């Protein structure tokens, strides 16, 4: 079952989740901005959304967007590639409309940031001055924290935590694995980038095995003490579809088992308890705020791994005029595509108000919706609204849980697919006529 964008927006759930996306297809080419110079690093969910909405709300701003990738590849929905439901092209989308929106779209990599002179330099030798710098670079993976995960091992041991070539390679490895083989995957310790969700990944791979390699097994090595997200829903799905809790379970879950070492030759993953051998191993190393955040000197929280921000403007608490969006920020939000898209708009709003000499909203609200698919044509979600608490100087969720599915359903799979198409369109400014090829 699939819903198109128009049908999805008619539903109460879809309309509530996308209330902030008015003007979805209204991204015409903007006039060159002669006002404040804004440099944005990273055109993912946060950076691309911010750039679009800032030009919409402050068209006089001069926006330079720096992004090394030629196309946008979505981490949300990338686990469907591992399941064989979609291929990489289905979740890879063009930057064409975004390029027409910003003043400069620079296909390059940032190599230096001078926060005193307020300049950004790229590998191509370009230097851009800024009045405001927005860092939306995602995360940096710390391979050196896992013994043996060197450059040679990285050629065959995939993390696939950034959707792209590694996702396609991991899919090929799973296809080549013999029936009766073992897939060993790891879950990083929180906080970590949510999509590709690790427990969803287990579901998706298990659904592929159930269809094509029914004697195969999945071993989940989780650095966290227990399932860190939607535990009841995942356990129910694993039990229903994959025999979890029985002697014939396709999934072997092991909490408190953070990978300490990998051996790409012997195909083993070592924890403090065991050396676990697999036919395919998928190790996700620890992570921290993106490399560009290190260049700007804004990693200051959680042992210098993440970036503390003012929730109302997303400005760094340690370096003025530098704003951090998405996964790099140290917040109590999930590090999800939904949050990055939502906060991209919030930051664009705050800066547009500042540029106009007005006061930004002193009591912001952030929403998050995270879907997880089982690979069996069903999905479930969790949705949360975070509100500014003046006394705590923080964004806080409601005291009682809200917006959690009671059970998986086919309808939620359709919602998940429609959510993805809508958030891609909103992030990238895709027209109503855009031909999505994603399959449900």
Q: What is the pLDDT of residue 10?
A: 38
User: What is the DSSP secondary-structure string of 234-299?
Assistant: HHHHHHHHH-TTSTT-SEEEESS----EEETTTTEEE-SS-EEE-SEEE----EEE-HHHHHHT--
Percentage of residues in the chain having pLDDT higher than 90:
89
Q: What is the pLDDT of residue 23?
A: 35
Contact at 8 Å (CB) between 158 and 195?
A: no
Residue 327 has pLDDT above 90, yes or no: yes
Strands of 305-364, DSSP E: 309-310, 315-316, 322-324
Given a cut of 60, whether residue 18 has pLDDT beyond it is no
pLDDT band at 439 (very low <50, low <70, confident <90, very high): confident
Identify the band that residue 20 occupies on the pLDDT scale cut at 50, 70 and 90. very low
pLDDT at position 123 over 50: yes
Q: Does position 21 have pLDDT exceeding 80, yes or no? A: no
Q: What is the mean pLDDT of residues 350-379?
A: 96
Check whether 301 has a pLDDT greater than 80.
yes
pLDDT digits (tens, 9 = 90+) for 264-282: 999 999 999 999 999 999 9
Mean pLDDT of the chain: 92
What pLDDT, on the 0 to 100 scale, is given for residue 28? 36
- pLDDT at position 168 is 98
33 compared with 192, residue with greater pLDDT: 192
Q: For residue 25, how many C-alpha atoms fall within 13 Å in the half-sphere facing its CB?
A: 7
Omega of the bond prior to 340 within 30 degrees of 0, cis? no
CA pair distance 132, 164, nearest whole angstrom:
30
Output phi, psi for 121, to 5 deg: -120, 140
Percent of the chain at pLDDT exceeding 70: 92
Q: Which domains does the chain have, with CATH numbers?
A: 5-141+288-428 (3.50.50.60), 147-285 (3.50.50.60)
Q: What is the largest CA-CA distance in the chain?
A: 67
Within 13 Å of residue 290, how many CA atoms lie on the same side as its CB? 23
Which has more confidence, 59 or 398? 59
Q: Indicate if the pLDDT at residue 6 is higher than 80.
A: no
Residue 402 confidence (pLDDT): 66
Question: Of the given ranges (59-63, 136-140, 190-194, 246-250), which has the lowest mean pLDDT?
Answer: 190-194
| Mean predicted confidence (pLDDT) in 71-90 | 97
pLDDT tens for residues 162-196? 999 999 999 999 999 999 999 999 999 999 999 99
| Sign of the dihedral defined by the CA atoms of residues 155, 156, 157, 159, in that order | positive
Report residue 279 as tokens.
């036919």
Residue 9 pLDDT level (bands cut at 50, 70, 90):
very low
The CA–CA distances, whole Å, from 191 to 13, 284, 306 equal 28, 13, 10
Residue 290 has pLDDT above 80, yes or no: yes
Work out the pLDDT band at 370, boundaries 50, 70, 90. very high
**Tell me: the pLDDT tens digits for 408-425?**
999 999 999 999 999 999
Please state, as a whole number, how many other Cβ atoms lie within 10 Å of the Cβ of residue 15: 12
Confidence of residue 19 (pLDDT cuts 50, 70, 90): very low
Strand-pairing partners, residue 104, are: 64
Q: What gap in Å lies between CA 348 and CA 22, rounded to an integer?
A: 15
Judge whether residue 124 has pLDDT over 50. yes
* Amino acid 401: pLDDT: 56
Q: Would you say residue 426 has pLDDT above 90? A: yes
Q: 110-114 and 119-122 as β-strands: parallel, antiparallel, unpaired?
A: antiparallel
pLDDT score at 17: 38
Mean pLDDT, residues 100-113 taken together? 98
Query: Where does the pLDDT of residue 351 fall: very low under 50, low under 70, confident under 90, or very high at 90 and above?
Result: very high
In this prediction, residue 33 carries a pLDDT of 83
The Cα–Cα gap between 57 and 378 comes to 38
Query: How many other C-beta atoms lie within 10 A of the C-beta of residue 199?
Result: 24
**pLDDT at site 271:** 97
- The number of helix segments (H) and strand segments (E) in the chain equals 11, 24
């Amino acid at each position: 079952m699939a819903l198109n964008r128009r049908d999805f927006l008619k539903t109460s759930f879809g309309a509530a989740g996308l209330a902030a996306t008015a003007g979805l297809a209204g991204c015409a080419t903007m006039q060159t901005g002669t006002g404040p110079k804004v440099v944005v690093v990273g055109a993912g969910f946060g950076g691309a959304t911010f750039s679009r909405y800032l030009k919409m709300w402050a068209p006089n701003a001069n926006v330079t967007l720096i992004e090394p990738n030629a196309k946008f590849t979505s981490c949300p929905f990338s686990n469907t590639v591992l399941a064989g439901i979609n291929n990489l092209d289905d979740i890879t989308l063009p930057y064409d409309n975004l390029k027409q929106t910003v003043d400069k779209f620079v296909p390059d990599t940032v190599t230096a940031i001078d926060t005193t002179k307020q300049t950004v330099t790229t590998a191509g030798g370009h230097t851009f001055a800024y009045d405001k710098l927005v860092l939306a670079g995602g995360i940096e993976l710390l391979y050196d924290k896992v013994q043996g995960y060197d450059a040679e091992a990285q050629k065959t041991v995939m993390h696939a935590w950034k959707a792209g070539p590694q996702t396609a390679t991991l899919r090929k490895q799973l296809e080549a694995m013999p029936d009766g083989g073992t897939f060993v995957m790891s879950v990083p310790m929180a906080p970590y980038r949510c999509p590709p969700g690790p427990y969803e990944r287990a579901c998706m791979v298990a659904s592929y095995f159930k269809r094509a390699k029914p004697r195969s097994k999945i071993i989940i090595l989780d650095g966290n003490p227990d399932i860190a997200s939607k535990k009841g829903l995942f356990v129910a799905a694993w039990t229903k579809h994959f025999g979890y809790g029985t002697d014939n379970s396709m999934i072997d879950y092991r909490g408190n088992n953070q990978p300490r070492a990998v051996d790409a030759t012997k195909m083993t993953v070592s924890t403090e308890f065991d050396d676990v051998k697999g036919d395919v191993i998928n190790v996700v190393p620890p992570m921290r705020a993106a490399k560009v955040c290190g260049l700007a000197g804004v990693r200051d929280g959680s042992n210098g791994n993440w970036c503390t921000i003012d929730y109302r403007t997303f400005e760094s608490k340690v370096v003025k005029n530098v704003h951090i969006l998405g996964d790099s920020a140290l917040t109590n939000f999930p590090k999800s595509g939904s949050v990055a898209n939502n906060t991209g708009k919030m930051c664009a709003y705050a800066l547009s108000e500042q540029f106009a000499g007005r006061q930004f909203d002193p009591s912001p609200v952030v929403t998050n919706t995270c879907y997880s698919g089982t690979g069996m044509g069903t999905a479930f979600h969790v949705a949360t609204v975070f509100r500014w608490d003046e006394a705590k100087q923080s964004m806080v969720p409601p005291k009682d849980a809200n917006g959690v599915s009671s059970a998986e359903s086919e309808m939620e799979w359709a919602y998940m697919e429609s959510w993805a198409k809508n958030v891609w369109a909103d992030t990238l400014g895709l027209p109503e006529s855009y031909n999505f090829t994603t399959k449900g």
